Amino acid sequence: MVKMTNLKAQNQAFFKTTQAFKKSLPILMGVLMLLALADALIPKQSYRLIFSGKWFFDPLIGAALGSVSGGNPLTSYIIGGELRHEGISMMAIIAFIVSWVTVGIIQLPAEAIMLGKRFAIVRNAVSFCMSIVIAIVTFLTIGTE
């Protein structure tokens, strides 16, 4: 009897999970297709050209750039490393790395559909601002090393 109940519960759990997945799959696929498009269309070298060299604007630009980019965080480290060699300020690089993983403009539609429009917009906006705050605080802690 217990085994029967367990099997029933497992079947129910499997059914619920499959249903939730079926609902999410078109959105996930759409996000993946958008990411692939952005990855192929935006050359990695173009990031360097966007920075102004001004300490006030560069963190803002870094955060904005990280927000519209996506993909493996490793890519952000590599680009960040290259930008550092090019002499871009650490504050801008930190804002770029942090916003790369915490803000997602490309996946915003998916986040809005699944977690609510208001939540998605507020979370991304707060994370954007916070990436600049973290950049400043981290920069003040470690200096220019």
Partner 1 sequence: MIKKIIDKVGFGEAFLLSIVIGYVILGIFDFALLKNVLCVLTRLIARIGPVLLIVFVVMFFTHLFFEGQRIVRLLGKESGFRGWIVAISGGIASSGPIYMWYPLLSDLKEKGMKDSLIATFLYNRAVKIPLLPMMVHYFGWNFTLALSIYMILFSVVNGVVVQLLTQRGIEG
Report the residue from 8, 44, 54, 84 that binds partner 1 according to the rule CB under 8 A. Answer: 84
Contacts of partner 1 in 16-75 (CB under 8 A): 16-17, 20-21, 23-37, 39-41, 71-74
In a 13 Å sphere around the CA of 91, the CA atoms on its Cβ side amount to 18
Q: Nearer to partner 1 by C-beta: 48 or 123? A: 123
Nearest-approach distance from CB 78 to partner 1, in angstroms: 7
Report the residue from 2, 43, 87, 145 that binds partner 1 according to the rule CB under 8 A. Answer: 145
Q: Is residue 3 near partner 1 by the rule CB under 8 A? A: no
Do 82 and 48 form a contact (C-beta atoms < 8 A)?
A: yes
Q: Is residue 89 near partner 1 by the rule CB under 8 A? A: no
Q: Taking the mean position of all CA atoms in its chain, how far away is CA 49?
A: 21
Binding-site size, partner 1 (CB under 8 A): 64
Q: Taking the mean position of all CA atoms in its chain, how far away is CA 84?
A: 21
Contacts of 98 (CB under 8 A, 6+ apart): 63, 66, 130, 131, 134, 135
Contacts of 91 (CB under 8 A, 6+ apart): 55, 58, 59, 62, 135, 136, 139
Residues forming contacts to partner 1 in the complex (CB under 8 A) are: 9-10, 12-14, 16-17, 20-21, 23-37, 39-41, 71-74, 77-78, 80-81, 84, 94, 97-98, 101-102, 104, 107, 109-111, 113-116, 118-119, 122-123, 126-127, 130, 133-134, 137-138, 141-142, 145
